[in-house]
Copies of this chain bind each other. A is one copy, B any other.
Amino acid sequence: MITIKEIAERLGMSTTTVSNVIHGKPGEVSEDTRKKVQDFLDEVDYVPNINARNLAQNESKIIGVALKARANKYENLIMDPFVSELIGGIEETIRKEGYFMMIYISQDTEEIMRHVSTWNVDGLILFGMLDDDGNRVSTRYKKPIVCIDTYSLDGIKHFTNVGIDDEQGIYDMVSFIISKGHKRVAFLADYDNGVDHERFKGYRRALSEAGIEFHESDYLELRPKSDEIEESLAEICERAWRFTAIMCVSDLYAVTLMSALKDRGISVPEGISIAGFDDNLLGKFHRPALTTVHQDVKKKGVVAAETLFRKIRGENTEEQITLPTHLVIRDSVTAPRMGA
Protein backbone atom coordinates (compact mmCIF):
# COMPACT_ATOMS: atom_id res chain seq x y z
CA MET A 1 0.00 0.00 0.00
CA ILE A 2 1.93 3.00 -1.25
CA THR A 3 0.95 6.43 0.06
CA ILE A 4 0.95 9.88 -1.44
CA LYS A 5 3.68 10.90 0.92
CA GLU A 6 5.92 8.10 -0.23
CA ILE A 7 5.30 8.93 -3.86
CA ALA A 8 6.12 12.57 -3.26
CA GLU A 9 9.37 11.62 -1.56
CA ARG A 10 10.46 9.28 -4.29
CA LEU A 11 9.67 11.84 -6.95
CA GLY A 12 11.26 14.63 -4.97
CA MET A 13 8.18 16.79 -4.87
CA SER A 14 5.43 17.69 -2.44
CA THR A 15 2.32 15.73 -1.57
CA THR A 16 0.20 18.61 -2.77
CA THR A 17 1.50 18.26 -6.28
CA VAL A 18 0.86 14.55 -6.30
CA SER A 19 -2.61 15.08 -4.90
CA ASN A 20 -3.33 17.71 -7.51
CA VAL A 21 -2.37 15.36 -10.28
CA ILE A 22 -4.55 12.63 -8.85
CA HIS A 23 -7.52 14.94 -8.82
CA GLY A 24 -6.76 16.39 -12.20
CA LYS A 25 -6.81 19.97 -11.00
CA PRO A 26 -6.57 21.94 -14.24
CA GLY A 27 -3.96 24.62 -14.40
CA GLU A 28 -2.69 23.76 -10.98
CA VAL A 29 0.21 21.75 -12.24
CA SER A 30 2.52 21.90 -15.24
CA GLU A 31 2.04 19.37 -18.00
CA ASP A 32 5.56 18.21 -17.41
CA THR A 33 5.20 17.22 -13.77
CA ARG A 34 1.68 16.00 -14.42
CA LYS A 35 2.95 13.41 -16.81
CA LYS A 36 5.85 12.45 -14.60
CA VAL A 37 3.58 11.90 -11.64
CA GLN A 38 0.90 10.16 -13.65
CA ASP A 39 3.36 7.70 -15.09
CA PHE A 40 4.67 6.88 -11.67
CA LEU A 41 1.16 6.51 -10.34
CA ASP A 42 0.34 4.01 -13.04
CA GLU A 43 3.58 2.19 -12.50
CA VAL A 44 3.12 1.58 -8.79
CA ASP A 45 -0.61 1.20 -9.23
CA TYR A 46 -1.50 3.74 -6.61
CA VAL A 47 -4.75 3.23 -4.77
CA PRO A 48 -5.94 5.87 -2.32
CA ASN A 49 -6.78 4.90 1.21
CA ILE A 50 -10.47 5.54 1.43
CA ASN A 51 -10.49 5.81 5.19
CA ALA A 52 -8.10 8.72 5.08
CA ARG A 53 -9.94 10.31 2.21
CA ASN A 54 -13.30 9.95 3.91
CA LEU A 55 -11.94 11.30 7.12
CA ALA A 56 -10.54 14.35 5.40
CA GLN A 57 -13.63 15.01 3.31
CA ASN A 58 -16.26 13.89 5.72
CA GLU A 59 -17.99 11.72 3.20
CA SER A 60 -17.95 8.03 2.57
CA LYS A 61 -19.11 7.19 -0.94
CA ILE A 62 -21.09 4.46 0.74
CA ILE A 63 -24.79 3.95 0.28
CA GLY A 64 -26.28 2.06 3.16
CA VAL A 65 -28.93 -0.47 2.26
CA ALA A 66 -30.76 -1.34 5.45
CA LEU A 67 -33.18 -4.23 5.44
CA LYS A 68 -35.37 -4.52 8.43
CA ALA A 69 -36.18 -8.17 8.88
CA ARG A 70 -39.45 -9.26 10.32
CA ALA A 71 -38.95 -11.96 12.90
CA ASN A 72 -38.79 -15.47 11.47
CA LYS A 73 -40.08 -14.95 8.00
CA TYR A 74 -37.04 -16.23 6.18
CA GLU A 75 -33.84 -17.78 7.31
CA ASN A 76 -32.13 -14.80 5.79
CA LEU A 77 -33.85 -11.94 4.04
CA ILE A 78 -31.50 -11.88 1.09
CA MET A 79 -32.70 -15.33 0.12
CA ASP A 80 -36.15 -13.98 -0.59
CA PRO A 81 -36.21 -13.71 -4.39
CA PHE A 82 -38.06 -10.42 -4.12
CA VAL A 83 -35.33 -8.94 -1.97
CA SER A 84 -32.49 -10.25 -4.07
CA GLU A 85 -34.02 -8.83 -7.22
CA LEU A 86 -34.44 -5.51 -5.46
CA ILE A 87 -30.84 -5.53 -4.31
CA GLY A 88 -29.77 -6.44 -7.81
CA GLY A 89 -31.31 -3.24 -9.12
CA ILE A 90 -29.92 -1.15 -6.31
CA GLU A 91 -26.43 -2.56 -6.57
CA GLU A 92 -26.23 -1.93 -10.28
CA THR A 93 -27.24 1.69 -9.94
CA ILE A 94 -24.91 2.36 -7.03
CA ARG A 95 -22.01 0.84 -8.90
CA LYS A 96 -22.72 2.90 -12.01
CA GLU A 97 -22.57 6.07 -9.92
CA GLY A 98 -19.19 5.11 -8.54
CA TYR A 99 -20.47 4.53 -5.03
CA PHE A 100 -20.29 1.45 -2.85
CA MET A 101 -23.04 -0.55 -1.29
CA MET A 102 -23.08 -1.72 2.28
CA ILE A 103 -25.94 -3.99 3.19
CA TYR A 104 -27.09 -4.22 6.74
CA ILE A 105 -29.81 -6.54 7.97
CA SER A 106 -31.36 -6.25 11.37
CA GLN A 107 -34.62 -6.53 13.20
CA ASP A 108 -33.66 -3.59 15.35
CA THR A 109 -34.05 -0.06 14.04
CA GLU A 110 -31.65 1.31 16.64
CA GLU A 111 -28.97 -1.08 15.51
CA ILE A 112 -29.49 -0.04 11.94
CA MET A 113 -29.08 3.60 12.85
CA ARG A 114 -25.93 2.94 14.81
CA HIS A 115 -24.47 1.17 11.85
CA VAL A 116 -25.45 3.97 9.53
CA SER A 117 -23.81 6.62 11.64
CA THR A 118 -20.57 4.77 12.30
CA TRP A 119 -20.00 4.41 8.62
CA ASN A 120 -21.22 7.90 7.94
CA VAL A 121 -22.98 6.71 4.80
CA ASP A 122 -23.84 9.35 2.22
CA GLY A 123 -27.35 8.08 1.69
CA LEU A 124 -29.72 5.45 2.89
CA ILE A 125 -32.14 3.04 1.26
CA LEU A 126 -34.60 1.52 3.67
CA PHE A 127 -36.68 -1.57 3.15
CA GLY A 128 -39.16 -3.16 5.51
CA MET A 129 -39.92 -0.14 7.67
CA LEU A 130 -43.18 -0.30 9.57
CA ASP A 131 -45.11 1.84 12.01
CA ASP A 132 -42.93 4.54 13.54
CA ASP A 133 -39.63 3.23 12.17
CA GLY A 134 -39.60 6.03 9.65
CA ASN A 135 -39.92 8.68 12.31
CA ARG A 136 -37.24 7.17 14.44
CA VAL A 137 -34.83 7.13 11.56
CA SER A 138 -35.58 10.61 10.35
CA THR A 139 -34.78 12.21 13.69
CA ARG A 140 -31.37 10.55 13.87
CA TYR A 141 -30.14 10.77 10.32
CA LYS A 142 -30.16 13.94 8.31
CA LYS A 143 -28.83 12.83 4.96
CA PRO A 144 -30.94 11.65 2.02
CA ILE A 145 -33.22 8.69 2.57
CA VAL A 146 -35.33 6.66 0.17
CA CYS A 147 -37.76 4.02 1.40
CA ILE A 148 -39.13 1.12 -0.54
CA ASP A 149 -42.66 -0.19 -0.11
CA THR A 150 -43.36 1.76 3.03
CA TYR A 151 -46.82 2.95 3.94
CA SER A 152 -46.20 4.69 7.24
CA LEU A 153 -44.37 7.83 6.24
CA ASP A 154 -46.96 10.50 6.85
CA GLY A 155 -45.46 13.86 7.44
CA ILE A 156 -41.84 12.90 6.89
CA LYS A 157 -41.25 15.34 4.10
CA HIS A 158 -37.62 14.73 3.28
CA PHE A 159 -38.15 11.03 2.59
CA THR A 160 -39.08 9.61 -0.76
CA ASN A 161 -40.96 6.36 -0.92
CA VAL A 162 -40.82 4.13 -3.97
CA GLY A 163 -43.62 1.64 -4.25
CA ILE A 164 -46.51 0.37 -6.26
CA ASP A 165 -50.22 0.64 -5.81
CA ASP A 166 -50.63 -2.62 -3.95
CA GLU A 167 -54.25 -1.98 -3.13
CA GLN A 168 -55.17 -1.32 -6.74
CA GLY A 169 -53.11 -4.24 -8.05
CA ILE A 170 -54.94 -6.77 -5.92
CA TYR A 171 -58.23 -5.01 -6.57
CA ASP A 172 -57.72 -5.44 -10.30
CA MET A 173 -56.90 -9.11 -9.96
CA VAL A 174 -59.75 -9.94 -7.61
CA SER A 175 -62.13 -8.04 -9.88
CA PHE A 176 -60.85 -10.10 -12.77
CA ILE A 177 -61.41 -13.30 -10.80
CA ILE A 178 -64.93 -12.23 -9.91
CA SER A 179 -65.61 -11.35 -13.54
CA LYS A 180 -64.87 -14.98 -14.36
CA GLY A 181 -67.85 -15.95 -12.24
CA HIS A 182 -66.27 -16.60 -8.85
CA LYS A 183 -68.22 -15.70 -5.74
CA ARG A 184 -66.26 -17.47 -3.04
CA VAL A 185 -62.76 -16.02 -3.17
CA ALA A 186 -60.32 -16.44 -0.28
CA PHE A 187 -57.26 -14.35 0.53
CA LEU A 188 -54.03 -16.04 1.53
CA ALA A 189 -51.30 -14.20 3.45
CA ASP A 190 -49.16 -14.54 6.52
CA TYR A 191 -49.29 -11.16 8.11
CA ASP A 192 -51.37 -8.07 8.05
CA ASN A 193 -49.13 -5.07 7.98
CA GLY A 194 -47.63 -2.66 5.48
CA VAL A 195 -47.83 -3.97 1.96
CA ASP A 196 -49.87 -7.02 2.91
CA HIS A 197 -52.40 -4.85 4.61
CA GLU A 198 -52.83 -2.73 1.49
CA ARG A 199 -53.29 -5.82 -0.59
CA PHE A 200 -55.86 -7.12 1.81
CA LYS A 201 -57.71 -3.82 1.53
CA GLY A 202 -57.74 -4.13 -2.25
CA TYR A 203 -59.21 -7.59 -1.96
CA ARG A 204 -61.90 -6.35 0.42
CA ARG A 205 -62.77 -3.47 -1.87
CA ALA A 206 -63.15 -5.71 -4.92
CA LEU A 207 -65.37 -8.04 -2.95
CA SER A 208 -67.49 -5.25 -1.59
CA GLU A 209 -67.91 -3.53 -4.94
CA ALA A 210 -69.12 -6.82 -6.38
CA GLY A 211 -71.60 -7.13 -3.55
CA ILE A 212 -69.87 -10.12 -2.01
CA GLU A 213 -69.77 -10.29 1.74
CA PHE A 214 -66.47 -10.96 3.50
CA HIS A 215 -66.25 -13.45 6.38
CA GLU A 216 -63.35 -13.84 8.78
CA SER A 217 -62.87 -17.38 7.53
CA ASP A 218 -62.10 -16.08 4.05
CA TYR A 219 -58.70 -15.00 5.33
CA LEU A 220 -56.31 -17.94 5.07
CA GLU A 221 -53.13 -17.66 7.08
CA LEU A 222 -49.98 -19.35 5.88
CA ARG A 223 -47.35 -19.69 8.58
CA PRO A 224 -44.08 -19.73 6.64
CA LYS A 225 -41.73 -20.91 9.38
CA SER A 226 -40.27 -24.22 8.29
CA ASP A 227 -41.61 -26.15 11.27
CA GLU A 228 -45.14 -24.90 10.78
CA ILE A 229 -45.57 -24.57 7.07
CA GLU A 230 -46.63 -28.14 6.34
CA GLU A 231 -49.22 -28.08 9.06
CA SER A 232 -50.65 -24.77 7.95
CA LEU A 233 -50.71 -25.89 4.32
CA ALA A 234 -52.66 -28.97 5.33
CA GLU A 235 -55.20 -26.82 7.14
CA ILE A 236 -55.51 -24.49 4.19
CA CYS A 237 -55.99 -27.29 1.69
CA GLU A 238 -58.68 -28.74 3.88
CA ARG A 239 -60.55 -25.47 3.89
CA ALA A 240 -59.93 -24.89 0.20
CA TRP A 241 -62.96 -26.81 -1.04
CA ARG A 242 -65.17 -24.06 0.34
CA PHE A 243 -63.75 -21.62 -2.18
CA THR A 244 -63.58 -21.53 -5.95
CA ALA A 245 -60.60 -19.19 -6.05
CA ILE A 246 -57.77 -18.08 -3.78
CA MET A 247 -56.00 -14.75 -4.13
CA CYS A 248 -52.47 -15.21 -2.78
CA VAL A 249 -50.43 -12.34 -1.46
CA SER A 250 -47.33 -13.40 -3.41
CA ASP A 251 -46.21 -15.71 -6.19
CA LEU A 252 -44.18 -17.70 -3.72
CA TYR A 253 -47.26 -18.47 -1.67
CA ALA A 254 -49.35 -19.15 -4.77
CA VAL A 255 -46.88 -21.70 -6.05
CA THR A 256 -46.43 -23.26 -2.63
CA LEU A 257 -50.17 -23.62 -2.42
CA MET A 258 -50.58 -25.00 -5.93
CA SER A 259 -48.09 -27.78 -5.33
CA ALA A 260 -49.70 -28.66 -1.99
CA LEU A 261 -53.10 -28.72 -3.68
CA LYS A 262 -51.88 -30.91 -6.51
CA ASP A 263 -50.36 -33.36 -4.02
CA ARG A 264 -53.82 -33.72 -2.52
CA GLY A 265 -55.42 -34.35 -5.87
CA ILE A 266 -56.98 -30.91 -6.24
CA SER A 267 -56.13 -29.57 -9.66
CA VAL A 268 -55.65 -25.96 -10.67
CA PRO A 269 -57.52 -24.36 -12.36
CA GLU A 270 -60.15 -27.09 -12.85
CA GLY A 271 -60.74 -27.62 -9.13
CA ILE A 272 -59.84 -24.18 -7.91
CA SER A 273 -58.42 -20.98 -9.37
CA ILE A 274 -55.24 -19.45 -7.93
CA ALA A 275 -53.75 -16.00 -8.47
CA GLY A 276 -50.48 -14.54 -7.25
CA PHE A 277 -48.68 -11.23 -6.96
CA ASP A 278 -45.17 -10.23 -8.11
CA ASP A 279 -44.70 -12.13 -11.37
CA ASN A 280 -41.45 -13.93 -10.74
CA LEU A 281 -39.75 -17.05 -12.09
CA LEU A 282 -41.60 -19.35 -9.75
CA GLY A 283 -44.98 -18.58 -11.25
CA LYS A 284 -43.69 -18.31 -14.77
CA PHE A 285 -42.24 -21.80 -14.82
CA HIS A 286 -44.99 -23.49 -12.86
CA ARG A 287 -47.57 -25.50 -14.79
CA PRO A 288 -50.30 -24.38 -14.91
CA ALA A 289 -48.50 -21.09 -15.36
CA LEU A 290 -49.57 -18.62 -12.70
CA THR A 291 -51.98 -15.78 -13.37
CA THR A 292 -50.53 -12.92 -11.37
CA VAL A 293 -50.07 -9.20 -10.82
CA HIS A 294 -46.87 -8.02 -12.39
CA GLN A 295 -44.52 -5.57 -10.77
CA ASP A 296 -41.01 -4.72 -11.87
CA VAL A 297 -38.98 -5.40 -8.76
CA LYS A 298 -35.60 -4.71 -10.24
CA LYS A 299 -36.85 -1.38 -11.49
CA LYS A 300 -38.07 -0.57 -8.01
CA GLY A 301 -34.50 -0.94 -6.82
CA VAL A 302 -33.11 1.09 -9.70
CA VAL A 303 -35.59 3.91 -9.22
CA ALA A 304 -34.98 3.97 -5.48
CA ALA A 305 -31.24 4.28 -5.95
CA GLU A 306 -31.54 6.82 -8.75
CA THR A 307 -33.83 8.95 -6.64
CA LEU A 308 -31.38 8.77 -3.77
CA PHE A 309 -28.62 10.11 -5.99
CA ARG A 310 -30.86 12.91 -7.15
CA LYS A 311 -31.33 13.81 -3.51
CA ILE A 312 -27.60 13.60 -2.89
CA ARG A 313 -27.00 15.99 -5.77
CA GLY A 314 -29.51 18.32 -4.20
CA GLU A 315 -32.16 17.95 -6.87
CA ASN A 316 -35.83 18.05 -6.08
CA THR A 317 -37.59 14.75 -5.60
CA GLU A 318 -41.15 13.61 -5.13
CA GLU A 319 -42.39 12.36 -1.81
CA GLN A 320 -43.94 9.31 -3.41
CA ILE A 321 -43.08 7.45 -6.60
CA THR A 322 -45.58 4.83 -7.64
CA LEU A 323 -44.55 2.31 -10.25
CA PRO A 324 -47.19 0.66 -12.41
CA THR A 325 -48.54 -2.86 -12.08
CA HIS A 326 -50.52 -4.88 -14.57
CA LEU A 327 -52.26 -8.21 -14.74
CA VAL A 328 -50.51 -11.16 -16.31
CA ILE A 329 -53.17 -13.59 -17.37
CA ARG A 330 -51.83 -17.10 -17.69
CA ASP A 331 -53.47 -20.41 -16.88
CA SER A 332 -54.24 -20.66 -13.17
CA VAL A 333 -57.52 -18.74 -13.19
CA THR A 334 -60.58 -19.86 -15.16
CA ALA A 335 -64.33 -19.96 -14.60
CA PRO A 336 -65.35 -21.78 -11.40
CA ARG A 337 -65.96 -25.52 -11.45
CA MET A 338 -69.47 -26.66 -12.25
CA GLY A 339 -71.93 -26.81 -9.40
CA ALA A 340 -69.76 -24.63 -7.20
Residues of A within 8 A of B (CB): 1, 47-52, 54-55, 60, 75-79, 81, 83-85, 87-89, 91-92, 95, 100-105, 114-115, 117-120, 252, 255-256, 258-259, 262, 281-282, 284-287, 289, 298
Chain B residues whose CB sits within 8 angstroms of the CB of A282 once the complex forms: 281-282, 285
Cβ-defined contact, B55 with A78, below 8 A: no
A285 to B261, CA, bound (A): 11
Closest to A85 in B: B79
- Which residue in B119, B285, B289 is a CB contact (below 8 Å) of A256? B285
Contact B51 A55 (CB under 8 A): yes
- Known contacts A100-B119, A259-B284, A262-B287; can you find 20 more A-B pairs with CB under 8 A? A1-B117, A48-B118, A49-B118, A49-B120, A50-B119, A50-B120, A76-B91, A78-B91, A79-B298, A81-B84, A84-B84, A91-B103, A95-B104, A95-B105, A100-B102, A100-B115, A101-B103, A258-B285, A259-B287, A286-B287
- From B1, B88, B104, B286, contact of A79 by CB (8 A): B88
- Who on chain B is nearest to A287 by CB? B262
Q: How many angstroms from the CA of A88 to the CA of B120 in the assembled complex?
A: 24
Once A79-B84, A119-B100 are accepted as A-B contacts, the answer to whether A287 and B287 lie under 8 Å apart by CB is: yes
How many monomers of this chain does the complex have?
2
Distance, CA A100 to CA B298, complexed state (A)? 24
A255 to B259 alpha-carbon distance, docked (Å): 14
Between A and B, 16 residue pairs with Cβ closer than 8 Å are A50-B51, A51-B55, A55-B55, A75-B298, A78-B84, A78-B88, A84-B84, A91-B105, A95-B104, A100-B102, A100-B115, A256-B285, A259-B287, A281-B282, A282-B282, A287-B287
Among A118, A255, A289, max chain B CB count under 10 A is at A118
The CA-CA distance from A81 to B74 in the complex, in Å, is 14
Instruction: Give the shortest distance, in Å, between A105 (CB) and chain B (any CB).
Output: 6
- Chain B residue numbers with a CB within 8 Å of A91 are 76, 78, 103, 105
